[in-house]
Amino acid sequence: MPRHLQREIDKLKKKVLALGALVEERVRMAVRAIEERDGGLAAKVIDGDVEVDQAEVDLEEDCLKVLALHQPVAIDLRYIVAILKMNSDLERIGDLAVNIAERAQFLSTQVRITYPFDLQGLVEKSQWMLRSSLDAMVNLDSGLARESRRADNEVDDINRNMYDLVKKAIQKNPEDLEMLIPLLSVSRYLEQIADHATNIAEDIIYMNEGIIARHKGESLENKPGPRGR
């Protein structure tokens, strides 16, 4: 690979990793705002969304410039395409962090109620998936990407169970409806964050191995490990 192309690709990697770190921090802040009913912290997440959006636009423009100027092929082309896709997923995760923060702002003005479900379990699992997918991105680790991908079924199961628990809680205490519905929305947003983390994990597998992992289940699990760059 020409050295100037390698330099450009290294810059893209640094930018996508920086965006990943930024988005992960925003999710942590939004979740903490929910847990602590901290409206001020939630406002910081909402106000900071402009920074995430701008970083996403800048990275997309840089990727398109590299494609146009250098016309990369094979693994280099695959790498840039994967970064473009991850860039989109990271921006969407940033949007979901804002959605969670907006619910946190509302809940900060309400009387606390006892959760009828294990929100913390969903928080921990979805954050683990995001962190693992980002770590897999840093290290080009297909094995870790596969672990993150497999965990998505657990998150889906937790989220589905929450709907039943919230329905029962509303039937038992209808006066809590106004607080329970936002919490149910938070559950859905966390499940969507896990979905985007899964997309990133699949992009890592594609980047390393050229395997399109979408729509593939266990048949993907015995494929070769990462080749790296």
Phi, psi angle pair for 214, to nearest 5° = -60, 140
Q: For 33-61, what is the mean pLDDT?
A: 96
* pLDDT score, position 215: 64
How far is residue 208's CA from residue 225's CA, in Å, rounded to a whole number? 8
The string of pLDDT tens digits covering residues 136-166 is 988 889 999 999 999 999 999 888 888 888 8
- Report CA dihedral (166, 113, 158, 128) to the nearest 10 degrees: 160
> Residues with Cβ < 8 Å from 124, sequence gap 6 or more?
none
Residue 223 has pLDDT above 70, yes or no: no
Q: For 67-84, what is the mean pLDDT?
A: 90
* pLDDT score, position 138: 85
Burial string for 168-184 (b: 16+ CB within 10 Å, else e) reads ebbeeeeebeebbebbb
* pLDDT score, position 23: 96
**Count of C-beta atoms within a 10 Å radius of residue 19:** 24
Q: For 80-86, what is the mean pLDDT?
A: 93
Mean pLDDT is lowest, of 43-52, 56-65, 107-116, 193-202, for: 107-116
Q: For 124-131, what is the mean pLDDT?
A: 93
Q: For 88-102, what is the mean pLDDT?
A: 97
pTM: 0.89
Per the CB < 8 A criterion, the answer to whether 74 and 27 are in contact is no
Domains and CATH numbers, the chain: 3-220 (1.20.58.220)
How far is residue 130's CA from residue 215's CA, in Å, rounded to a whole number? 20
How far is residue 110's CA from residue 174's CA, in Å, rounded to a whole number? 15
> Residues with Cβ < 8 Å from 117, sequence gap 6 or more?
161, 162, 165, 166, 187
Crossing angle, helix 142-150 and helix 177-209, to 10 degrees? 150
Residue 130 has pLDDT above 80, yes or no: yes
* pLDDT score, position 89: 97
The string of pLDDT tens digits covering residues 32-42 is 999 899 999 99
* pLDDT score, position 158: 87
Per the CB < 8 A criterion, the answer to whether 160 and 134 are in contact is no
